[in-house]
Structure 1
Amino acid sequence: MSEILHSAGLVPERLKHLPPEYLLPAQQYCRLYQAAAEQLQKLGRTVPWGAGIGTESFELMCHCMISARTLGDALKLAQRFDNLLYPQLHRRMRLSEDKDSVSLIYDLDLDDASEALMLDSWDREGFQEPVARASGLLVWHALCGWLTGQPIEVEAVTVAAPARNDSYTQRLEAVFHCPVEFNADQTALLMSAEHLSRRVVQTEGSLKGFLANAVYQLIAIDQQPFSTSVAIKSLITIDLPGPLPSLEEVAAQLMMSESSVRRRLQREGTNYQNLKDEVRCYVAIDKLLNEGAKVSAVAEYLGFTEPSSFVRSFKSWTGQTPKAYRDRMVSLGEAWDSSH
């Protein structure tokens, strides 16, 4: 245990002097959870909480999902992955669809050995089963929201376990924004089938940063508002090379009206044109400096019909032409190298 605490940046001696009701800061808790999950994995033990977040299997599953175009495609890939490893991991996500709705079902087989992971002071009868099952739904709910860049609205939540207490139920309902039914036949999220057509806005690049701190990321997702700007910039980047999508097309992919997108962007202090310019400027600079691409090639990649149009736009973004910008950055780099 001391080894796990130290790897999470915690000092056991200091923890002993903290009052029992003291709550670890979120980032410290997440580091501790990650360290514990890694240690359980080394011991060949299954992590019974949180859909296995923090384990290598969870990471590999996310890599499978990130290549999908829509949330439905991503979840079906995850379902195949989970079915393959279900005999070893004893947990899986599966979908049950009908015409208008879909249930994201979380199956979890708990055994007596998992009780060894709980402290003697915990109420074993009232803690293990509801928390283990509900925490799996929490992770899947947050993961779907991260993949699509916007919260997933659920219509009903069921947990195949007795209710722990009123306080725990209320905390779950505050996250899901709907009633939570315990003692159900299955542990599941019920949502509109329309959610499956939402575009996946994340990429391999953003997944790398996400997995580096996945536990904290998924906790934060359910506590902070989603950024429409970030989701739109991801969509624009994914659709390159070629002409950028219209606001109407982006709104459709986010399953929102154009007016709703405009209002959200206004609240975030920006607009669609600014987001397009930010993406094109970032991509152009990356290709000019890191790939040595020609101006004409960058212009074509970004969907400009003429290189001259791209040059004018680039100058409006940076105050310089692409060639002048690249020459200046190269000379600054050479000056830095010679001085060190």
Structure 2
Amino acid sequence: MYEVTIPVHKVLRLFDYLEKLGLEAEPIAARAGLSRKAILKLEPGATLPGQQYSRLYKQAVLEMQTLKQPLPWAAGVGSEAFELMCHCMISARTLGDAIGLAERYEKMLYPMIGHRVWLEVAGDTAKLGYQIRFTERGSAALVPDDWDRADYQDTVAKASGLLIWHALCGWLVGESLEIEQANISAPFLNAAYHDSLSATFHSNVLFDADDTYFSFAAEQLQRRIVHTSDSLRELLDNAIYQLILIERRPASTSAAIKSLISIDLSRGLPSFADMAAQLHMSESSLRRRLQSESTSYQQLKDEVRCQVAIDKLLNEGARIADLSDYLGFTEPSSFVRSFKNWTGETPRSYREKILALGDDPD
């Protein structure tokens, strides 16, 4: 199964946070095609499609921007400032050049956005650091005192920002950076949070450090950017969903391939040889890379087709026959069988179940 889902309790936590900020959750949810009332009626163990949660988070960030306060979470993902920074970075040739552009951009906007990235190279080691302006409870407008995470907002804000930069760098070059050490200049939260960060960074994580940064071999700064402006738009349209994917499967050549397939899907699925050429790799090198990531080109194509099918079913009202043709199936029945294999349900029943969450219950 290739469907990515989000537990309903995470959605409810977002609703609670918005209301503590004085923002109305129901209209925000409605703009994402969801109903807060319908979601509240779901069983505690229920889940929502990752794409729907991503749309909800995007609408929440857009609404938070109306408060005209720095966004403290996740390096500002979903905000206009973050998107413009990414558009600046995509023009670079190497990772080092891209981070340099981001450093200049965020340094200029630091008084307004409240956070910035920095890069330091000493010999064979590079450090990518993340600085955020507020450090104490009550010092940020978007951290309400009565919120259940207010006591450890400093730790979450800094760690989430560093995680986003790790994911973004990996996405840009199509392969996760090999981290030597990750430091967080904030208090230790708990063992579960520490273990989660360590698993994502694949390195030791030190809290109460002097600065927030991760270190890695400087030679990785010479890695070539494998994405384009087109694949960047695809990332930013569903930023949270894409970053959930990276969190569950670290940034890799697989992630780059999936973005490139999505761009060209309307013109047909690219051949393996074409994909290798786009990634500036030989076919044998690409095949070895995918084997090391425990996947195949066929599996990646199916994952993309699943994601696109769900998006078009839920948000564009696509007809089954049209979807089948768009995704390269020879006949609609083949598409229906594949979709049921991906999600456990037929396209029709899946759409009816999820769209019901956008209707207010009686």
Scaled by the length of structure 2, the TM-score of the pair is: 0.63
Tell me if 1:114 matches 2:135. no
- Counterpart Cα distance in 1 of 2:62 and 2:87: 18
The 10-residue stretch of structure 1 (30-39 or 224-233) with the greater mean CA deviation from structure 2: 224-233
Aligned residues: 256
State the one-letter code of the partner of 2:88: C
1:157 equivalent to 2:157? Answer: no
Residue 42 of structure 1 deviates from its aligned partner by 2.0
Deviations 1:81-105 (A, max 9, x none): 0100011111000011111111100
Shift of 1:7: 1.8
Paired-residue identity, %: 43
Cα offset for 1:77? Answer: 0.3
Match status 1:60 vs 2:84: yes
Displacement, 1:250? 4.5
CA distance in 1, matches of 2:214, 2:45: 32
Alpha carbons 1:228, 1:261 under 8 Å: kept? no
**Alignment partners' CA distance in 2, 1:22 and 1:121:** 24
Instruction: Output the CA distance in 2 between the equivalents of 1:164 and 1:29.
Output: 26
SS at match of 1:114: coil
The 5-angstrom pairing of residues 113-132 of structure 1 reads 113-114=139-140, 116-118=142-144, 120=146, 122-125=148-151, 127-132=152-157
- For the residues of structure 1 that align with 2:133 and 2:229, how far apart are their CA atoms? 31
Distance in 1, matches of 2:37 and 2:154, equals: 31
| Deviation, structure 1 residue 221 | 1.4
Offset of residue 183 of structure 1: 0.6
Q: Against the structure 1 CA distance between its residues 162 and 230, is the aligned structure 2 distance closer, same or farther, given a 3 Å change threshold? A: closer
Query: How many Å apart are 1:198 and its aligned residue?
Result: 0.1
Work out the CA distance in 2 between the residues paired with 1:23 and 1:118: 27
Match of 1:93 in 2: 117
Shift of 1:117: 3.9
Whether 2:34 is the aligned partner of 1:10: answer yes
Tell me how far apart the structure 1 counterparts of residues 143 and 214 of structure 2 sit (CA, whole Å): 27
In structure 1, C-alpha distance between the alignment counterparts of 2:41 and 2:143, rounded to whole Å = 23
Deviates more, 1:159-168 or 1:28-37: 28-37
1:176 to 197, 201, 220: 201
Residues 178-214 of structure 1 deviation map (CA, whole Å, 9 limit, x = unaligned): 1111111111011110110000001111111111111
How big is each residue's C-alpha offset from its partner over 1:34-73, in whole Å with a ceiling of 9 and x where there is no partner? 1111011122122100101100000100010000000000
- Mapped to 2, the partners of 1:23 and 1:129 lie a distance apart of 29
Q: Which of the two has higher C-alpha Rg? A: 1
Code of the residue aligned with 1:104 in structure 2: it is L
1:1-340 matched pairs, under 5 angstroms: 1=24, 2-18=26-42, 25-110=49-134, 112-114=138-140, 116-118=142-144, 120=146, 122-125=148-151, 127-224=152-249, 226-227=252-253, 230=256, 250=280, 261-265=286-290, 268-269=295-296
What is the rounded CA distance, in whole Å, between the counterparts of 1:265 and 1:83 in structure 2?
A: 37
CA distance in 2: counterparts of 1:171 and 1:189, whole angstroms: 16
Cα deviation 1:255-314 (Å, max 9, x = unaligned): xxx9765423566556xxxxxxxxxxxxxxxxxxxxxxxxxxxxxxxxxxxxxxxxxxxx
State the SS of the aligned residue for 2:71. Answer: coil
- Output the CA distance in 2 between the equivalents of 1:156 and 1:180: 6
One-letter amino acid matched to 1:28: Q
Secondary structure, in 3 states, of the residue corresponding to 2:240?
helix
Give 2:317's aligned residue.
Answer: none
SS at match of 2:140: helix
In structure 1, distance between residues paired with 2:130 and 2:240: 18
Using the alignment, how far apart are the partners of 2:192 and 2:130 within structure 1?
23
Tell me, in whole angstroms, the C-alpha distance in 1 between the residues paired with 2:47 and 2:207.
27
In 2, are the aligned partners of 1:105 and 1:187 still within 8 Å (CA)?
Answer: yes
SS of residue paired to 1:43: coil
Note the C-alpha offset of 1:22: 6.2
Partner amino acid for 1:197? Q
Please tell me the residue identity of whatever aligns with 1:57.
A
TM-score, L = length of structure 1: 0.67
Task: State the distance in 1 between where 2:170 and 2:234 align.
Answer: 16
Q: Contact 2:174 / 2:255 at 8 angstroms: preserved in 1? A: no
CA 1:75/1:90 → structure 2, altered by over 3 Å: closer, same or farther? same
Residue in structure 2 matched with residue 277 of structure 1 by the alignment:
none
- Aligned-residue RMSD, C-alpha: 3.2
Deviation at residue 21 of structure 1 after TM alignment: 7.2
Structure 1 stretches lacking a partner, 5+ long? 235-243, 253-257, 271-340
